[in-house]
């Protein structure tokens, strides 16, 4: 191999090329079948995902965003209810709450894992004197689980539903079990860049309760089980048959892809040790595995944007997940949050930077990335 002088943020071609024959055959099979909505492939994928997670049911839907919205609707969240979540997450977590008619409220994050902090949840629940909070959505950010033991305990004490936002964390294992199997429902995204990604938008809901599974299934198809007979008001949130069929090809590879991500993360950890005065590697929670949907470093002393620019100029993919915490987004300005309300999330938003990690990334590419970061640190 020649000299490495660029690294993409993600390279799906490397990941999928060994499966290209199966992928193309699947496209052809679905095309020839003429069956493009629901059908056997959706049913089979749902069974295979349920077996993978160790849950009773999964329901294939259009996206992770719709998975969250459907889960909220299934547990009866209604206009005026409050739903507690993290301010440091992709905005879909919050938009699902809003689109269910509820009001998002926040608890700050743990500075090490970036996940919602149980002690901050406890404080928020104590302040909820009118008992408006009806559910908690813990986000398993970047591929590492939130501290579910404490969260589930608090939810039980306050009679709250727990909906896991596992959109970045398929295959992550908590001490209590696989994420998505711990709360009342789990929501997963299979957006193309996820560890298990479709060839377009897709997602699913995981659940152990049969009546909740039936409710989600009903909601995803206009509240109808018999054509033109509508029991409740739902929407059109079905997973596409072609996406389900393709995901069935990819799912058996997921554990090996996760292992490759974990090996790449360990190599980064070792190489970045020498830069620890300026760069902080991801910290691991003792109760959770990490599946590294993102490998996210912290850049101290206000240098994050400078490093991001330097990496971009060096043709190294990098991204900021997320530069503005949810409570400070313009879309929520009517809720009157202000800078300083959730300082740990705000600090994280000013320091985090995700560098390339994907199955098939080469050690030489990782060396180029770390060496480039080292060059930046020497001048800052």
Sheet holding 133-137, edge to edge: 57-61, 203-207, 185-189, 161-165, 133-137, 82-85, 103-106
Structure tokens at 222: 């206009």
Angle at 367 between CA 362 and CA 371, to 5 degrees: 155
- State how far the alpha carbon of 274 is from the alpha carbons of 133, 186, 279, 318, in Å: 45, 39, 9, 21
pLDDT for the residue 5:
92
> Residue for token digits 């740990």?
344
Q: Which two tokens stand for residue 172?
A: 């992550």
* pLDDT (0 to 100) of residue 2: 73
Q: How would you classify residue 215: left for phi > 0, otherwise alpha for psi between -120 and 50, otherwise beta? A: alpha
Question: What pLDDT, on a 0 to 100 scale, did the predictor assign at position 22?
Answer: 97
Q: What are phi and psi of 111, to 5 degrees?
A: -70, -20
C-alpha to C-alpha distance for 61 and 272, rounded to whole angstroms: 39
Best CA proximity match to 204, nearest among 326, 43, 75: 43
Residue with tokens 């054509």: 227
Task: Answer whether 187's CB lies under 8 Å from 164's CB.
Answer: yes
Integer Cα distance of 135 and 119 in angstroms: 16
C-alpha distance across the termini of the chain, in Å: 32
HEC secondary structure over the chain: CCCCCCECCCCHHHHHHHHHHHHHHHHHHHHHHCCCECCHHHHHHHHHHHHHHCCCEEEEECCHHHHHHHHHHHCCCCCCCEEEECCCCCCHHHHHHHHCCCEEEECCECCCCCCECHHHHHHHHHHCCCCCEEEEECECHHHECCCHHHHHHHHHHHCCEEEEECCCCCCCEECCEECCCCCCEEEEECCCCCCCCCCCCCEEEEECCHHHHHHHHHHCECCEEECCEECCCCCECECEHHHHHHHHHHHHHHHHHHHHHHHHHHHHHHHHHHHCCCEECCCCCCCECECCCCEEEEECCCCHHHHHHHHHHCCECCECCCCCCHHHCHHHHHHCCCCCCCHHHHHHHHHEEEECCCCCCCHHHHHHHHHHHHHHHHCC
Residue with tokens 């964390």: 169
Instruction: Output the pTM of the full model.
Output: 0.97
Residue 334, both tokens: 């009517």
Question: Which domains are seen in the chain, by residue range?
Answer: 13-253 (3.40.640.10), 254-378 (3.90.1150.10)
Buried b (16+ CB within 10 A) or exposed e, 100-121: bebbbbbbbbbeebbbbbbebb
Contact by Cβ (8 Å): 296, 354: yes
pLDDT digits (tens, 9 = 90+) for 53-101: 999 999 999 999 999 999 999 999 999 999 999 999 999 999 999 999 9
**The pLDDT value given to residue 251:** 98
pLDDT (tens, 9 = 90+) of the chain, 380 residues, equals: 578 999 999 999 999 999 999 999 999 999 999 999 999 999 999 999 999 999 999 999 999 999 999 999 999 999 999 999 999 999 999 999 999 999 999 999 999 999 999 999 999 999 999 999 999 999 999 999 999 999 999 999 999 999 999 999 999 999 999 999 999 999 999 999 999 999 999 999 999 999 999 999 999 999 998 899 999 999 999 999 999 999 999 999 999 999 999 999 999 999 999 998 899 999 999 999 999 999 999 999 999 999 999 999 999 999 999 999 999 999 999 999 999 999 999 999 999 999 999 999 999 999 999 999 999 999 88
- Reported residue count of the chain is 380
């Amino acid at each position: 191999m020649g000299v490495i002088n660029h690294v993409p943020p993600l390279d799906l071609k490397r990941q999928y090329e060994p499966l290209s024959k199966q992928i193309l055959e699947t496209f052809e099979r679905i095309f020839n079948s003429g069956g493009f909505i629901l059908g056997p492939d959706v049913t089979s994928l749902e069974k295979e995902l349920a077996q993978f997670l160790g849950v009773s049911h999964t329901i294939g839907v259009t996206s992770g965003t719709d998975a969250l919205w459907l889960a909220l609707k299934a547990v009866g969240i209604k206009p005026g209810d409050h739903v507690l979540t993290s301010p440091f997450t992709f905005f879909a977590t919050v938009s699902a709450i809003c689109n269910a008619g509820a009001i998002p409220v926040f608890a700050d994050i743990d500075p090490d894992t970036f996940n919602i902090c149980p002690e901050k949840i406890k404080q928020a629940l104590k302040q909820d004197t009118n008992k408006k909070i009806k559910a908690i959505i813990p986000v398993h950010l970047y591929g590492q689980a939130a501290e579910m033991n404490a969260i589930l305990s608090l939810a039980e004490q306050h009679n709250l539903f727990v909906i896991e936002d596992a959109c970045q964390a398929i295959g992550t294992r908590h001490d209590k079990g696989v994420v998505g199997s711990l709360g009342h429902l789990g929501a997963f995204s299979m957006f193309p860049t996820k560890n298990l990604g479709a060839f377009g938008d897709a997602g699913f809901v995981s659940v152990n309760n049969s009546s909740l599974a039936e409710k989600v299934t009903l909601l995803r198809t206009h509240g109808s089980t018999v054509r033109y007979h509508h029991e409740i008001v739902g929407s059109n949130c079905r997973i596409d048959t072609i996406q389900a069929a393709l995901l069935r090809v990819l799912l058996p590879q997921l554990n090996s892809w996760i292992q490759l991500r974990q090996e790449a993360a360990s190599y980064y950890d070792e190489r970045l040790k020498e830069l620890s005065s300026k760069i902080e590697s991801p910290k691991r929670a003792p109760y959770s595995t990490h599946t590294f949907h993102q490998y996210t470093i912290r850049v101290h002393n206000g240098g994050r944007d400078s490093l991001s620019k330097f990496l971009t100029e060096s043709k190294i993919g990098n991204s900021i997940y997320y530069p503005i915490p949810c409570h400070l987004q313009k879309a929520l300005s009517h809720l009157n949050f202000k800078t300083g309300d959730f300082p740990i999330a705000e600090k994280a938003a000013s320091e985090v930077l995700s560098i390339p990690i994907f199955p098939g990334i080469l050690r030489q590419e990782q060396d180029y990335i770390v060496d480039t970061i080292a060059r930046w640190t020497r001048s800052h």
